[in-house]
A = this chain, B = another copy of it.
Amino acid sequence: MKNAAQSVQVSTEKHRPRVVILGAGFAGLTVAMRLACQPVEIVIIDRHNYHLFQPLLYQVATAALSPADIAAPIRGILGHFDNIQVLLDTVTNIDRDRCQIQTLSDRRIDYDYLVIATGATHNYFGRDEWHELAPGLKRIEDATELRRRILLAFERAEIEENPARRQALMTFVIVGGGPTGVEMAGAMAELTRFTLARNFRRIQPENARIILADANERLLRPFPEALSEKARRSLERMGVEMKLGTRVDHLDRHGVRMEQDKIATETVIWSAGVKASPAADWLGVDSNAAGQVAVEADLQLPGDDRIYLVGDVCQHINPDQQPTPGLAPAAKQQGKHVARDLIARIRGRRRPGAFVYKGRGQLATIGRHSAICNFGQVRVTGYAGWWLWGAAHIYFLIGFRNRVVVAANWFWSYLTFGRGIRLITGDVAVKPDASSAGNPGRSTLDQSR
């Protein structure tokens, strides 16, 4: 233990304060980039070796982009700053008395200041066993697994003799009508209506049922009602069925039950709510229903001015009593604020004080030529909104390469309606009988990942 902790110090200078950042998402990465070249020593720890542009994960799941298009290696972004140390590791606990974090690799790392930006994962509202049956869209592995299940469902439908099972294979249920669910539904509609159409002989992918379910009566709650309505109508125009105001109360490998009606399906996509990573447990403090830790106006942990929480892991209330939303721009703004506050403290300057979220607008795309953008007074929808959405997302992608490749991929798909990333990797199961597990042809749904 001890010499491990020292070992981290070996490579660093003693007199500069050390800022340890947990998580290299939008919030954590922003803090690190803002503190680079400042008189601090930074240790950034992430359980992955890449920063992931989560808002586009659904495009990986629907074969429009490759994982590497929306992920940039953290060392590639921060590696050349001499005051930044990147560690691939997983936090297991925080020792606030000793000012140390503990990691899965049995190491203790001292901090002078700690920034917790460990984000959130899916929220199955206590039914964690559903994760196997209905993956969400938080990690690259989730997206490639969904891509595998979606593409495989059509391959299996093509050889399925039983019409009922063929219909079930060609039915896709998306649970959760937030931005992710809406964008996923639109992308699925495109994939089936355009890309896969005519590629099969015995099935018509364009007849696939795509169902978007939400316990709430309307989609995209953060958006104004009118835009939610627009989104619903354009999705319906693309052939997406709505099941609004009904809660999913049962899931198994053969289907979904929502109050009254039961839908036979083998592919369920989960996008209903997020649960913060267990920072509250590490810190020994309370959390809200979503597992978030409440922070002060300046994003500090109440009663511990060495610790900040930023991004989805924290609950921050703005002066107007509105909570800061769980969006990438909000996480970045919080990251900038914390970096500014830390620099002020270290240089003994006046501190910026309370963080106030500046809503720069909300964007959501609904497949080809349709998106909704809300900038308060200004609302852009349809064709123009779609181009705006694309431009914004390419602009915010980190890394020159990713921007170029994503732009190229999108342009190609735009011209050809094709999607080049239609790879089924991992276990390939085409046995018509899904219940026969244990051999290479076993069901995609009963395999453990």
Contacts and interface: CB of A to CB of B under 8 A. Distances in A.
A431 interface: yes
A430 B49 CA distance: 11
Contacts of A418: 76, 401
A428 B421 CA distance: 24
Interface stretch (A100-108, A330-338, A358-366): A100-108
Contacts of A105: 159, 430-432, 441
Point out which of A50, A68, A196 has the most chain B C-beta atoms below 10 A from its C-beta: A68
Nearest to A65: B68
Contacts of A201: 11, 85
Contact of A67 (B158, B408, B423, B441): B423
B73 A422 contact: yes
A85 to B, nearest CB: 5
A409 to B, nearest CB: 7
Given A50-B423, A159-B87, A11 B202 contact: yes
A63 to B, nearest CB: 8
Contact of A155 (B79, B88, B196): B88
B48 A200 contact: no
Quickly give the copy total for this chain: 2
Contacts of A420: 68, 72-73, 76, 399, 401-402, 405
A424 B50 contact: yes
Interface residues of A, number: 70
A104 B441 contact: yes
A197 to B, nearest CB: 9
Nearest to A412: B401
A265 interface: no
A349 interface: no
Interface string A193-218: 00010111110000000000000000
Contact of A428 (B47, B405, B424): B47
A161 interface: yes
A89 to B, nearest CB: 5
A6 to B, nearest CB: 10
A183 interface: no
A73 B431 contact: no
A446 B426 CA distance: 19
A408 to B, nearest CB: 6
Contact of A88 (B48, B66, B80, B430): B430
Interface string A345-359: 000000000000000
A49 to B, nearest CB: 5
5 contacts: A72-B420, A104-B430, A104-B440, A401-B412, A405-B409
Given A7-B161, A66-B66, A106-B431, 20 more contacts: A4-B161, A50-B422, A66-B69, A68-B421, A73-B423, A75-B196, A75-B199, A76-B418, A79-B198, A80-B199, A86-B199, A88-B159, A88-B428, A90-B440, A105-B431, A105-B432, A107-B159, A399-B420, A400-B412, A404-B408
Complex A-B, nearest 8 residue pairs according to Cβ-Cβ distance, in ascending order: A79-B199, A75-B199, A73-B422, A401-B420, A88-B155, A66-B66, A68-B421, A104-B441
Interface of A: 3-4, 7, 10-11, 47-50, 66-69, 71-73, 75-76, 79-80, 85-90, 104-107, 140-141, 144, 151-152, 155, 158-159, 161, 196, 198-202, 399-402, 404-405, 408-409, 412, 416, 418, 420-426, 428, 430-432, 439-441
